[in-house]
């Protein structure tokens, strides 16, 4: 099976403009992401709408594809990039450009989901360790069926554990955090990129609900590795501390 990794990276960001080019431990965030992905995948590209990002990627020997600036999601951006690359791949892996600590094991777990011929889309989940972290609406929750396919994603805490104080819920149910690494069979990627936004997606502001609502199945692999996404300047400061303490 032939895999490609595509890293969507925009310069514009309401919370942290230019974050792919922010410096982290002497390297740009996008270079760190690229190196992590290249440690397991041979074919890796950055899909961007900004020449500064494209030039930076090429300066460290990476491959970049220029895409339109009007895409509403990273999924749409990687679909255009795939068309421009012009090579057939069985599975496309979408790695966020603000995840400099993404691990080889996490990418491998998503790849292994496609050993199941029924898998159309794959992503990752990690068990929450505390109710405090599970309460965070910026950490979407997943509930699964018995075959590890997603039943639903929500910013709310799901499921509701009846008969217990909320502080006790974490001891009664293994709540699962969504880690936003995706992979798609190529034909599925092209199909979902043509779907209009759905009512559930608009309600929760979670793109993957568009796919579920249209009948696509999402396989969820489990990881025990925590990642630090760079969404704000404060996240970058935490990442610097993490880098120093763990010598990643």
Nearest to 97 by CA among 39, 140, 37: 37
- In this predicted structure, what is the pLDDT of residue 45? 98
* pLDDT at residue 247 greater than cutoff 70: no
Bridge partners of residue 152, in order along the sequence: 143
Q: 171: how many CB neighbours lie within 10 A of its CB?
A: 10
Does the domain at residues 116-179+187-226 carry the CATH identifier 3.90.550.10?
A: yes
* pLDDT band of 240, cuts 50, 70, 90: very high
The Cβ of residue 59 has, within 10 Å, a number of other Cβ atoms equal to: 10
Task: Give me the residues paired with residue 144 across strands.
Answer: 150
Q: Whole-number mean pLDDT of the chain?
A: 94
Contact 6, 79 (CB under 8 A): no
Tell me the pairing of strands 176-185 and 91-94: antiparallel
CATH 3.90.550.10 in the chain, residue ranges: 1-102, 116-179+187-226
pLDDT digits (tens, 9 = 90+) for 144-172: 999 999 999 999 999 999 999 999 999 99
**Could you tell me the end-to-end alpha-carbon distance of the chain, in angstroms, rounded to an integer?**
30
Instruction: Note the Cα 112 to chain centre separation in Å.
Output: 16
d(CA 244, CA 248): 8
DSSP string, 26-60: TEEHHHHHHHHHHTT-S-EEEEES-HHHHHHHHHT
Q: Does domain 1-102 have CATH number 3.90.550.10?
A: yes
The predicted-structure confidence for 61-90, as pLDDT tens digits, reads as follows 999 999 999 888 889 999 999 999 999 999
């Amino acid at each position: 099976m032939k895999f490609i990794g595509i890293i969507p990276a925009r310069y514009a960001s309401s919370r942290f403009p230019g974050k792919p080019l922010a410096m982290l431990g002497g390297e740009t965030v996008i270079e760190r992401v690229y190196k992590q992905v290249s440690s397991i995948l041979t074919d890796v590209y950055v899909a961007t709408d900004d020449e500064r990002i494209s030039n930076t990627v090429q300066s460290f020997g990476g491959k970049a594809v220029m895409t339109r600036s009007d895409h509403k999601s990273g999924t749409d951006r990687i679909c255009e990039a795939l068309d421009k690359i012009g090579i057939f791949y069985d599975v496309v892996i979408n790695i966020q450009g603000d995840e400099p600590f993404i691990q080889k094991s996490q990418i491998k777990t998503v790849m292994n989901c496609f050993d199941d011929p029924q898998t159309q889309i794959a992503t990752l989940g990690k068990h929450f360790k505390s109710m405090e972290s599970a309460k965070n609406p910026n950490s979407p929750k997943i509930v699964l069926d018995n075959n590890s396919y997603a039943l639903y994603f929500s910013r709310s805490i799901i499921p509701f554990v009846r008969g217990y104080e909320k502080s006790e819920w974490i001891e009664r149910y293994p709540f699962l955090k969504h880690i936003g690494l995706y992979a798609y069979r190529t034909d599925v990627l092209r199909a979902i990129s043509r779907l209009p936004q759905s009512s559930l997606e608009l309600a929760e502001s979670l793109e993957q609900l568009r796919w579920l609502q249209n009948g696509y199945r999402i396989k969820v692999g489990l990881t025990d590795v925590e990642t630090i996404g760079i969404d704000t300047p404060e996240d970058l400061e935490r990442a610097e501390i993490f880098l120093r303490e763990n010598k990643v």
